[in-house]
Structure 1
Amino acid sequence: MSLEHDPPLGKVQERPARAAQRELDQPRRGVGGRRRDTRPAPLADLDKPLSLRDAERLAQAESTDAERLRELMFGRQFRAVIQPPLNDVLMKRQEYLTDTVAVPDAAQLMIRRVLPPADAPRTRPSCTTHYNMLLVFCESLRRGVRMTVRFPYTSVEPLELDGSVAADFFDLPDASPGPENATSASVEQIDPSAIVTNALRSPIGTEPLAELARGKRSVLVVFDDVSRPTPVAQFIESVLSELQAAGVHAHQITFMAALGTHRPMTRDEMAEKLGRSVVDRYACLNHEWDNPEALVYVGDTDQGVPVWINRKVIDSDLVIGIGSIMPIDICGYTGGGKIIVPGLAGPETVNRMHWARVFLRRDEVVGRPDNPVRTSIDALARKAGLGFIVNVVLDADGRVVAAVAGDMTAAHREGCRIAAGRFAVDYDREYDVVVADSHPFDIEFWQANKALDTAGHFVRAGGAIVLVTPCPEGWSRTHRDDILRFGYRGTVEIRRLVEEKAIRHSVVGVHMHQVSEVAFEKARLIIVSEGLPRTEVESVGFEWAATPQRAFARALELSGADSPRMAVLRNASRMTPVRVHGG
């Protein structure tokens, strides 16, 4: 999703700082001739940063006169109180300003004014925060400026905004990782293989992989499936090199796709995920969650959950889980033991693990690596025998920028700490209309729901959400019939259907529950999708639109707001929304 804008009207002339300051310091006449002090304070000391509150007051004081606001902005020599390495953004992702968050020329000039020096301390605040602060200065410019929102799908028409609706734009933070993590890399230095090798040789909570694997006769390497963006092929040779150094031969290594209840991967999909040479050299299998012969019972956890797991896990001397860490509504973050449960688990285990989520509030799970569902996952995976993990963290462009390896819990928690800085996005209000795309979780609605989860944080009660998602495989390859049979409805009704066994797999009930919390009970949902037919979308309780433009127009109607505010979410499916004090 990207933005373009029409050029602002007229050329702005800069004014001397002293003249602009005098203009700013003059109180205005109020009702009855009394002076009404609208001056943002303190502004006299130009050596101090301009606070966010002062910025808001400045924007509000001049919101009826865009030209005057521009002059005041250009007349001041100010610095922002927030200091993200925006110079890195300009140097390394130049398209960030021109495509992703394009703003009027006035604001772009301001961006250049507030750039920290190249040798300034490197901090990790979200560039989204910086952008939103700039929009505070440009409040009067946001209305009346045409913008084009483009989506990451060639077949989807862009959304044209005519300036009549105030819009805020959110994306993932793009600051480079801090120097405290030895397994991280800057954008110029990204080498996934080297990053993972460093993590393998400095594991957290276990011996190095080469030591751990020494003497093992069978190794099972479990990897996430086609629904996840982990670029395993870019670093898998690092893992195999450590195994070879330990004396493990190719015929002793088996790869297995952690499907959970997803459809099987094709051989070509495995080749794309792992690399063609890996598929040609090693045995590569799919988990069979619905085949009782492929499962074995290994006992109950302390919570009384039965552990049914793929027989290959039990038959292997060492089990290695490979995946990535990013936000997910079901258990806080992906990665860690989730590669085994639900990845290689049987239906009863999967159902029991997922069902625990419906009894928790969203703020008890989102962005929290330690929560009841994650605790259950860890207990189940450890009971099954997960011995070592390799988890990577990706940036907004899907590149490996950090890795952790070692114990399934200790290493995972460190990875969550790193991921928190990559995916946390601050917001300070709820919006009448939210527009989001599902990229890169586009394959089916079962995955696209991740973007809807995020949109649910940003939308106000009674608002409307536009979800743009391709869904080439429809609702879900494995759960389509249940979704179309029951649709999305009140969460109390969904719980009843699960408890009465009308919905056979409670994992389906959890999905319906999550979707309905947002798109049935809190807001209205309009879907733009080539893969979801209009008749089916309407039959399950949502609205369908052929284009984002039509969906947006309908969303404005549904919101019922006189002066609507909208949020546009890019990479919504990978965000951790963080509500901060504000409007």
Structure 2
Amino acid sequence: MQLTIPYHKTSLPLRIPKTHHVDIILPHEEPVLTDPDTQIRNALENPVASPHLGDIIQPGNTISIIVSDSTRTTPTNIMLPPLLDMLLCADAQEQNITIIYALGIHRRQSEQEQVAIVGQDIYQKYQCIDHDKDRCQYIGTTSRGTRVEVFDQVVRSDVIICTGSIEYHYFAGYTGGYKAILPGVSSYRSIMANHGLMIRDGTSPGNYNCPVRSDMEEAGSIFGVDFILNVVLNSKKQITGAAAGHPVHAHRVGTQTVDGMYKQSIEPADIVIVSPGGWPKDIDLFQSHKALEHVKSAIRPGGSVILGAHCCEGTGNEVFDKWMNMGYLPEEIISKLEQEFILGGHKAALLAKLALEFDMYLVSGLTQKTAKKAYFNGGLSLQQTFDKVSDKYRPDARVVVVPYGTSTLVEKVSDILI
């Protein structure tokens, strides 16, 4: 069998012998019947459990529109024009609208990256700024003890609109919704407290009742968000669904679309080959790891997983990099996180947990030395890696290929039946 998996802005070829039993897990995607602009305008005109934007905006209101940063595939340049049209029709003034990139703890962006996200015309017409995690104001505290500290530019605004795309998230259940606020435009302290909840029971992708998202939504409710606009994308990054309105109820409409497209069940395999889905989802190892969490249920105990991720920006996080360079055994680094949760360090501990369950291989632009520090075997091409791994198993080994791992959630058949 000849196939390819997405890799950066291209793809990697792979040949699998006929003796192997191969399952390729692809989304259940329906044809896109409506152009994206129409889908978005329909969502805006029919908000879920929310007043119409025209009834929310008052003359003279200052408005913050929170958008995704360059690590996300959200088609912000397509979403903003109809949203801005509706705001202007409601008598909002261009000079009162600020577009804020939700960086969370990600690096600051170049002007070129900012322009690419919103489009040249919008960038020139509106104020577009990066979130600054060091300029946040205290709003309140959640029942789980998370201090709600939000970027002062957002706090000063009269109307808050969150945009984003919805897909699975390995410890927040799903992306989208209130995630634009926490972590998107929150302080480092707030993000640390919220993300520290990932070590609690109930944390899993596809669970919107998990501790982290429940805390996010409580924080967002304390702060107050007026409206959201979220989209669902297919594997070609085309908009297949849009939901607008209430930050929770509209978000849930989107999660139903995601589950219908991307949640699948399968018997665990000897070898799983996964790609995050190409650029920008494989921009660095910090982001690419998410694909492993989404497919780990598809790997039998003692099996192997091959991650094909270019990682053109390296490991992607200074703390993550520092923890990997400590040279700890997997058990030691897991124990270190349990003693004190540190954002960035959590990624090293999660990789360590996976390494105790499976043999991990990395096909990337990273050096073999860097891959080894992150508990991967590396340094070979995809074909060379597969040939090496398949030699460990019987000729009729089961192989599962997941080309869009960041978007797809693969569960064991037994998990679905329970």
Q: TM above 0.5, one fold?
A: yes
How far apart are 1:196 and its partner, in Å? 1.1
Q: How does 1:89-168 map to 2 (within 5 A)?
A: 147-153=1-7, 157-168=12-23
Question: Does 2:289 align with 1:449?
Answer: yes
How far apart are 1:275 and its partner, in Å? 1.0
Q: Unaligned stretches of 5+ in structure 2?
A: none
Aligned to 2:376: 542
Q: Report the RMSD for the aligned CA atoms in angstroms.
A: 2.1
How far apart are 1:562 and its partner, in Å? 6.4
Question: Does 2:27 align with 1:172?
Answer: yes
Aligned to 1:29: none
Q: Distance in 2 between the 1:377 and 1:448 partners?
A: 23
Q: Distance in 1 between the 2:254 and 2:109 partners?
A: 27
Whose relative contact order is higher, 1 or 2, with alpha carbons under 8 Å and at least 6 apart? 2
Q: 1:303 to 1:401 in 2, by over 3 A?
A: same
1:269 to 113, 116, 121: 113
> Is the CA contact (8 Å cut-off) linking 1:172 and 1:570 kept in structure 2?
no
> Is the CA contact (8 Å cut-off) linking 2:324 and 2:348 kept in structure 1?
no
Task: Could you list the structure 1 runs, at least 4 aligned residues long, displaced by more than 6 angstroms after superposition.
Answer: none
Aligned to 1:283: 127
How far apart are 1:320 and its partner, in Å? 0.6
Aligned to 1:53: none
> Is the CA contact (8 Å cut-off) linking 1:488 and 1:541 kept in structure 2?
no
Q: How does 1:209-358 map to 2 (within 5 A)?
A: 209-289=53-133, 291=134, 294-358=135-199
Q: How does 1:386-535 map to 2 (within 5 A)?
A: 386-427=225-266, 429-440=267-278, 441-486=281-326, 489-490=329-330, 493-498=332-337, 500-501=339-340, 506-518=342-354, 520-530=355-365, 532-535=366-369
How far apart are 1:152 and its partner, in Å? 2.5
How far apart are 1:157 and its partner, in Å? 4.7
How far apart are 1:540 and its partner, in Å? 3.0
How far apart are 1:395 and its partner, in Å? 1.5
Find the residue that maps to 2:357 and give its secondary structure. coil
2:390 to 556, 560, 563: 556
> Is the CA contact (8 Å cut-off) linking 2:103 and 2:184 kept in structure 1?
yes
How far apart are 1:210 and its partner, in Å? 1.7
Q: Which has the larger radius of gyration?
A: 1
Question: Does 2:209 align with 1:376?
Answer: no
Q: Distance in 2 between the 1:217 and 1:156 partners?
A: 47
Q: Distance in 2 between the 1:328 and 1:354 partners?
A: 12
How far apart are 1:336 and its partner, in Å? 0.4
Amino acid paired to 1:379? E
Deviations 1:69-115 (A, max 9, x none): xxxxxxxxxxxxxxxxxxxxxxxxxxxxxxxxxxxxxxxxxxxxxxx
Aligned to 1:9: none
Q: Percent identity?
A: 25
Q: 1:241 to 1:311 in 2, by over 3 A?
A: same
How far apart are 1:485 and its partner, in Å? 2.4
How far apart are 1:264 and its partner, in Å? 1.4
How far apart are 1:517 and its partner, in Å? 2.6
Find the residue that maps to 2:406 and give its secondary structure. helix
Deviations 1:20-77 (A, max 9, x none): xxxxxxxxxxxxxxxxxxxxxxxxxxxxxxxxxxxxxxxxxxxxxxxxxxxxxxxxxx
How far apart are 1:560 and its partner, in Å? 4.5
Find the residue that maps to 1:309 and give its secondary structure. strand
Find the residue that maps to 2:343 and give its secondary structure. helix
How far apart are 1:226 and its partner, in Å? 0.8
Q: Distance in 2 between the 1:195 and 1:244 partners?
A: 19
Q: Distance in 2 between the 1:524 and 1:297 partners?
A: 44
